[in-house]
Structure 1
Amino acid sequence: MKLTALVDNSRLNSRPDLAVERGLSLHVETMGQQILFDVGSGKAFCDNAALLGVEIRDIDVAVISHRHHDHCNGVTHFLDCNAKAQVYFRDCEETDYSFRVFGFKSNIGIDREIFEKAPERFSFVNEMTEILPNIYVVTNIGSRYQQPKGNKYLFVNSGKDCKPDTFDHELLLIIKESDGLVVFTGCAHSGVINMVQTAVELFPSARIKAVVGGFHLVGLPIYDSIGGTKEEIKAIGKALESYPIDKLYTGHCTGMKAFGILKAVLGDRLEHLPTGRSVTI
């Protein structure tokens, strides 16, 4: 598998020509297929793809991890550049999504007009689905472990009906190659350990070659604060260390402070995945 970060919050120091945004988009080449996992919030992933030798028009399928703008609103540009790929979302009730803290409120939800642009291009799933051979979208994510503390700022609906987001719009992507699994987390609002545990339960005899994506260990993104305490982040690292995972590639909503704490626990198993970086897994 070849994995390329088309968009992340940061970029390689050697690639100042690439755009960055607070979002995520990953290009995957595996088993003769090209997959796009998340699309950021705008056109940056398309512009960066051209600079990184990735042809958006050739992508076979797109998977959207959840309905926050920084992972899904770039879909409109994907539809402009690609005429064939189905775009997969988790099936859920339409609602509003917001970030709220200290009286401040920001809309962070999907632009619903996206679905009106080319409705035949969208597929909505509510159970584990093999979207291509050995490529699975998983909607039933376990809840054995605590969700990230940073979730406390995230809500659904508005006004009197406002309530904490339950993340019933989040999914997990698992790619099963001949020598093991690669697990894609998006933002891991359901909890990265819950996602890894789900993969282990679904494929109990499989090695996990890599876990890729954001782990949502950031608290307030503007300050890059950590969600929870240092000891809690260390405990997450130790829990991940106990699983049969070869490598973890992360960025975006993990936050660099939390990354540093995890790195002290996981060492070389954990790597940063900024915009422009390609790795072979």
Structure 2
Amino acid sequence: MQLTALVENTRLDNRADLTVERGLSFHAATMGKQLLFDAGNSQVFCDNAELLNINIQDIDAAVISHRHHDHCNGVTHFLARNSEAPVYFRDCEDTEYIFKAFGFRSNVSFNKNMFSQSPQRFKFINTFTEIYPDIFIVTEISNKYPRPEGNKYLFTKKGDDCDSDTFEHELLLIVKEHDGLIIFTGCAHSGVLNMVETTVQLFPNMRIKAVVGGFHLVGLPLFNSIGGSKEDIVSIGEALLSYPIDKLYTGHCTGLKAYAILKGVLGDRLEYFPTGRSVSI
């Protein structure tokens, strides 16, 4: 797999021509297919793709990890630049998504008008689905481990009712190559450990070449605080070491402080993945 970060909160130091935003989008070329995983919050991922010599029209499918604007809103621009590829979402109830903390409130929902833009392009998944040979969308995610502490600020809203978000809108993407698995987490609101555990249950005794995406270990993004305690983050890192994972590429909602703590545990297995970086896995 050739993996490229089309947009993330930061960028490579030598790529000042690329634009960043608080969002996430990856391009993956694997087994004769090109995949878009998440689409950021705007057209930025499209603009960066052109600068990175990636043609959006050539993408075979887009997979959206969950329904927050910083992963979804770019889909409208994807549809305008790619005339055929299906766009996969997890099937779920229609609701609004809210961030609330210490009296501050923000709507983090996505632009739902996109569903009427090209309705035939959208595929809503509610079960384990092989979208191409050895490329899988997973909707049932393990609850073996605690979910991220930062989730406590995230809610769903229907009418006047506001409830804690249970992330029934989140999915997991797994690519099974001949020499191992690549796991795409999005924001891992269900917990990166739960996503890895789910993968191990589905594909026992297989090497995990890489885990890619945000781990939502940030608490309050504005202050780059960590979700939970330092000891919590260390425990997550130690648990990740117990799995057969070669590399972890992360950024976005992991948070720089939590990343530094994880790096102290995982060492060379963990790398930051900013806008413009491309690796062969």
- Please give the TM-score of this superposition, normalised by the length of structure 2: 0.99
Determine the C-alpha separation between the residues in 2 that align with 1:89 and 1:132.
15
Determine the C-alpha separation between the residues in 1 that align with 2:152 and 2:160.
17
Structure 1 segments unaligned to the other structure (5+ residues): none
Report SS of the residue matched to 1:19.
coil
Determine the C-alpha separation between the residues in 1 that align with 2:249 and 2:172.
15
AA at the equivalent of 1:238 = E
For residue 79 of structure 2, what is the aligned residue in structure 1? Answer: 79
Render the CA deviation track for 1:6-48: whole Å, top value 9, x for unaligned: 0000000000110000000000000010000000010000000
Determine the C-alpha separation between the residues in 2 that align with 1:160 and 1:50.
43
For residue 246 of structure 1, what is the aligned residue in structure 2? Answer: 246
AA at the equivalent of 2:207 = R
For residue 150 of structure 2, what is the aligned residue in structure 1? Answer: 150
Determine the C-alpha separation between the residues in 2 that align with 1:272 and 1:165.
27
AA at the equivalent of 1:234 = V
Instruction: Find out whether 1:15 has 2:15 as its counterpart.
Output: yes
- What CA RMSD, in Å, does the superposition of the two structures yield over aligned residues? 0.7
Give the paired residue count. 281
Structure 2 segments unaligned to the other structure (5+ residues): none
For residue 208 of structure 1, what is the aligned residue in structure 2? Answer: 208
Q: What are the residue-to-residue correspondences of 1:87-236 with 2, within 5 Å?
A: 87-157=87-157, 160-236=160-236
Render the CA deviation track for 1:147-201: whole Å, top value 9, x for unaligned: 0000000000056410100000000000000000000000000000000000000
**Contact 2:188/2:214 (8 A) holds in 1:** yes
**Identity %, equivalent residues:** 67
Render the CA deviation track for 1:122-150: whole Å, top value 9, x for unaligned: 00000000001100000000111100000
AA at the equivalent of 2:74 = G
Report SS of the residue matched to 2:237.
helix
Determine the C-alpha separation between the residues in 2 that align with 1:110 and 1:27.
21
- Offset, 1:229: 0.3
AA at the equivalent of 1:156 = T
Which of structure 1's runs of 4+ aligned residues deviate more than 4 A?
A: none
For residue 63 of structure 1, what is the aligned residue in structure 2? Answer: 63
- Offset, 1:81: 0.3
For residue 54 of structure 1, what is the aligned residue in structure 2? Answer: 54
Determine the C-alpha separation between the residues in 1 that align with 2:181 and 2:239.
18
Report SS of the residue matched to 1:162.
strand
